[in-house]
Structure 1
Amino acid sequence: MQRAFLQHISSFVICLMTLASVYQSSGCAISFELFPPKNAEGVDLLCKNVERLMQFSPKYFTCTYGAGGSSRGTTLEVLQKVKQITNLPVASHLTCVGSTVEELEGYLADAREIGVDYIVALRGDPPQGTTKFEVTEGGLKYANELVELIRGKFDDLGIAVAGYPETHQEAVDFQTDLVNLKRKVDAGADIVITQLFYHNDDFYRFRDACQAIGIEVPIVPGILPVTNFKQAKRIASMCKASIPAELESAMSEKEDAAHQFRVGVDHARQQTIDLLKHGVPGIHYYVLNKSEAAAELLDGLQLAGV
């Protein structure tokens, strides 16, 4: 009875943790990103993978939604289940795409109602079939405006924003992109989570530039373990991330799925070890609703005593 009470109190304290405070300890905070499954079977599998990932003591889970907000309802359902399973804080992605301010406020109210703790505030990519972001009538144009909205009316929610080590694909140049990022941080963001990257030097260059321009919130690297080379190239091309020549060469040696998995996981593990040596406050893993790659990567670190 006493043990159950203490576990309840511990869970309550964890869920009161602010997003900024997650990164104030001396260790490296781990978090995982999910996306909403298309059916009930996918939800069940996601829950099993979440349970497996809990062995690595993550600080929180995030969940995206489909293009144009097509699966926002499912995102909230997933996050509610994840919170029930883990007793950890959860974060919902939110974009400006296809929504009025009133609709954004409605979603934020619903998210807070079901227990969402943090928001990953994004402008969002253009809807599928288009190449240019169009502002919805009565909506918002930039992510910093979304941050201002959340901070102004939902100040109890933590806010993460996106950073781009290799520059956002629509930005004029690297420096302009940094100025835009600082605008989001100045509007009230607690942390920056980066887009995926495969060259750690790109992240260090980006982090140094952020510090030079006066961005003082935690900069959290985002890592996607490569497990399928064709898929990795497609995702990397979408977000303007370059794949190292040595990784491409090693993975393309064989089309064998097991070989590509091992090579990709090892690369992500080496990225992680190097990032830890360089004092990152945390690492955000894009797990694509699967636990195998992240589990093997992190298991390997534990076995090595990292």
Structure 2
Amino acid sequence: MASVIEAEAERTAAPGVSPYAELPGDIAVSFEFFPPKTEKMEAQLWQAIADLAPLSPSFVSVTYGAGGTTRERTHATVARIVRETNLAPAAHLTCIAASKAEIADIADQYWQAGVRHIVALRGDPPPADGGRFVPHPEGYASAAELVAGLKHQHDFEISVAAYPEIHPEAVSAQHDLDNLKRKIDAGATRAITQFFYSTDAYLRFLDKALAAGIETPILPGIMPVTNFAAIRRMSGNTEIPDWLVTMFEGLDDRPGPRALVAAVAAADLCRRLYEGGVRDFHFYTLNRAEQAYAICQLLGLRPQEITP
């Protein structure tokens, strides 16, 4: 069977026609938000949700701060999405700074609120732990254990994290892939990748995952570049291609042009993924709708009527 990379087609638009012109919009999308800290940020979040809802996302996820620092705000945001929209929310939940009993209580609260989808993560350790993950003495030691515990408690749909260019703490690519397999075997429904900018890295990762017996969907996590310096800090093992550096050169103090270039760069990444057979995209929105909406527009996705 041909690999995913070998299956990537070379699409050539007719002369004078945009490469996006013939994309039919036959894609699924999902969006990630983070819980707001202030009234102004809350207004921005709900405006972003309102703007993106007509694109009929498969789900919208709400993040969980390092060390469980946004636990209450995450729950409040997810509960409001359930109450006030027709969207399917996914609540992030981590192993950090919580016992199994505390996590079970949080999961029960989500289930009672009507939430049926959890993004189960090991989580980022708080700075007090020196950046090193230390399991709670009565908690889960890994995301795979968390997945198993949540599935035992309720029949949640569960998403987990994947790393096309290897988790920064992994001892090897194989070790990282084995860890993903453990999460899938524990009951995860899908994986969502860390952001990346190399199409080949993602497609090769799909090939390796399939060879390892992982057949669940692995959604590409798309992060438009809102701040190039911040992306460099967050990148970890993620390759920042030279062409991307060139595109954003001189734009650090020009947020307007930078946002336009970011949307074009991310749309081009998605177009190339589409050519490789990808039809499901997860967008890290940073609580802003404009870029994600523009990218979906370029990919041919159009808004649907929202029923109250």
Deviates more, 1:212-221 or 1:291-300: 291-300
In structure 2, the residue matched to 1:132 is: 132
- Report the equivalent of 1:161: 160
Q: How far apart are residue 76 of structure 1 and its match?
A: 1.3
1:247 to 230, 244, 247: 244
The 2-side partners of 1:37 and 1:44 are apart by: 9
Structure 1 counterpart of 2:274, which letter? Answer: L
Superposed CA deviations along residues 237-260 of structure 1, whole A, max 9, x for unmatched, are 4xx212111111110133322222
Q: CA deviation at 1:303?
A: 8.7
Name the residue aligned to 2:10.
Answer: none
CA displacement at 1:300 relative to structure 2: 2.8
Alpha-carbon distance in 2 for matches of 1:27, 1:267: 20
Mean alpha-carbon deviation: is it higher for 219-228 or for 126-135?
126-135
TM-score normalised by length of structure 2: 0.86
For structure 2, list consecutive stretches of 5 or more residues without a partner in the other structure.
1-24, 303-308
1:66 correspondence with 2:59: no
* Secondary structure of residue in 1 paired with 2:296: helix
Aligned length: 276
Output one character per residue of 1:41-64: Cα deviation in whole Å (capped at 9) or x when no partner: 322221111010113221110001
Q: Report if the CA contact (8 A) 1:251-1:259 is conserved.
A: no
The 3-state SS of whatever aligns with 1:139 is coil
SS of match in other structure, 1:284: strand
Trace 1:22-171 onto structure 2 (pairs within 5 A): 27-129=26-128, 130-155=130-155, 157-171=156-170
Q: Secondary structure at the match of 1:55?
A: helix
Higher normalized helix content (fraction of residues): 1
> In the TM superposition, what whole-angstrom CA distance separates every residue of 1:181-236 from its partner, at most 9, and x where no partner exists?
10110011110111110111110011100000000101111000112212222222
Matches of 1:27 and 1:189 in 2, distance apart? 25
Matched position secondary structure for 1:59: coil
Q: Secondary structure at the match of 1:302?
A: coil
Q: Which residue of 2 aligns with 1:8?
A: none
2:222 corresponding residue in structure 1: 223
**1:3-39 Cα distance to aligned partner (Å, 9 max, x none):** xxxxxxxxxxxxxxxxxxxxxxx94320000011102
- 2:59/2:89 contact within 8 Å kept: yes
Q: Secondary structure at the match of 2:105?
A: helix
In the TM superposition, residue 75 of structure 1 has moved relative to its aligned partner by 0.6
Instruction: Find out whether 1:275 has 2:273 as its counterpart.
Output: yes
Question: Quick one: structure 1 residues 46 and 202, their matched pair in 2 at CA, closer, same or farther if it must change by over 3 Å?
Answer: same
Q: Any conservation in 2 of the 1:227–1:265 contact (CA below 8 Å)? A: no
2: distance between equivalents of 1:70 and 1:192? 24
